[in-house]
Amino acid sequence: MTGGHLAAGRLTIAWIWGIPISVHVSWLLVFALVAGSLAAGYFPEREPGWGAPTRWVLGALTSLAFFASVLVHELGHSRVALRYGIPIRGITLFVFGGVAQIGREPDSPGAEFRIAIAGPLTSLALAALFGGVGTVAGSMALVSVPALWLARINLFVALFNLLPGFPLDGGRVLRAAVWAWTGSFDRANRAAAAAGEVLALALIGVGTLRALGGDVAGGIWMALIGWFLHSAVAAGRAQAALRDLLRGATVSQAMARDCPSVAPDLTLERLVHDEVLGAGRRCFVVEEDGHLRGLLTLHEVKGVPREQWSRAKVEEVMQPAQALSVVGPEEALLGALQKMDDAKVAQLPVVADGHWLGMLDREHILHYMRVRAELGV
């Protein structure tokens, strides 16, 4: 599955192709549930002669292999996205599987289709691989039993993700098809979101009926998946509304032109006394003769010991201009917001021909959006 955002509570465990791989705290729950169900249910049915230590160790290893498969599924999406120049902010394993957080939407229906289908195709390949290993292992039950389970679960992951509802991969395939047919991304997005909402409500309804019918654990789990998909659809619609609101807007329409600038030789002590405590400011452009030298925020100030403030100068601790992400006044506002997300910053200097013109930050973007919404334009 691609897209989406997860809250805090994540631990980055690796980097692959420059992509941070994280585990959300909720993953521990589903890892334990999968390992426990294998050790206490599936393995005893297949191999009654296995002792408890064997079942539990193999259950934990098989659960890890399953989530490694989920990670490979997300890497399949990510690899194709990177080929199209689309950044991947990260991949997170969590209670409902995994999610690759793509930096922006694809530019064409073809790219959308290839990125979306890469995940299920990867899972199908893993299913074939594990199935082959299980078949070759034959009577070597310690290998064949978990391998064949992994083959079936990867096949299920592929088929479930192909269901035609956003944000599942099948929903993105549907969006690509409607986009190619109509030529309108917005119409395609609405169609995929509507299909996703129907699918989510169906899962919630069927899950509730299953729980009432006696399959409490399975029913609740299905309903929770439906709830998650429904929440993702709502988040997708909010992003679509944001795109509509910012369509056609440029950076110059939302930037702050009165952002405070300070001289590079100003001491931190004077800066804190006059600008931070005196005026309540938190971010400063550093310029000299009208040219941008750098950017200074409270984050850099706090990194300098208090006793050094009287000697340390702004230019010694600022973020230099060459290391900054900047935007031009005529750039699309939506693209600038995306650039903020990619750079993980809350503000961007607005520069033209090397001259600083103002500052774009999230607060001014929100103000611009509120005004447009109030005016209905």
Residue 14 CB contacts under 8 Å (≥ 6 apart), including other chains: 20, 21
Nearest-angstrom CA–CA distance, 140 and 148: 12
Amino acid found at 335: G
DSSP 157-221: HHHHHTSSSTTSHHHHHHHHHHHHHHS-HHHHHHHHHHHHHHHHHHHHHHHHHHHHTT-HHHHHH
Nearest-angstrom CA–CA distance, 202 and 200: 5
Buried b (16+ CB within 10 A) or exposed e, 359-373: bbbeebbeebbeeee
For residue 167, whether the previous peptide bond is cis, meaning omega lies within 30 degrees of 0, is yes
Q: Among the options 74, 112, 197, 287, which is catalytic?
A: 74
Alpha helices in 7-165 (DSSP H): 27-37, 43-46, 52-83, 109-137, 141-161
Q: What is the CA radius of gyration of the chain?
A: 26
Active site residue 330: no
The backbone torsions φ and ψ at residue 263, rounded to the nearest 5 degrees and listed phi first, read -80, 150
DSSP 40-75: IIIHHHH-TT--HHHHHHHHHHHHHHHHHHHHHHHH
The answer to whether the CB of 46 falls within 8 A of the CB of 34 is no
Burial class (CB in 10 A: 0-12, 13-18, 19+), 232: buried
Catalytic residue ranges = 74
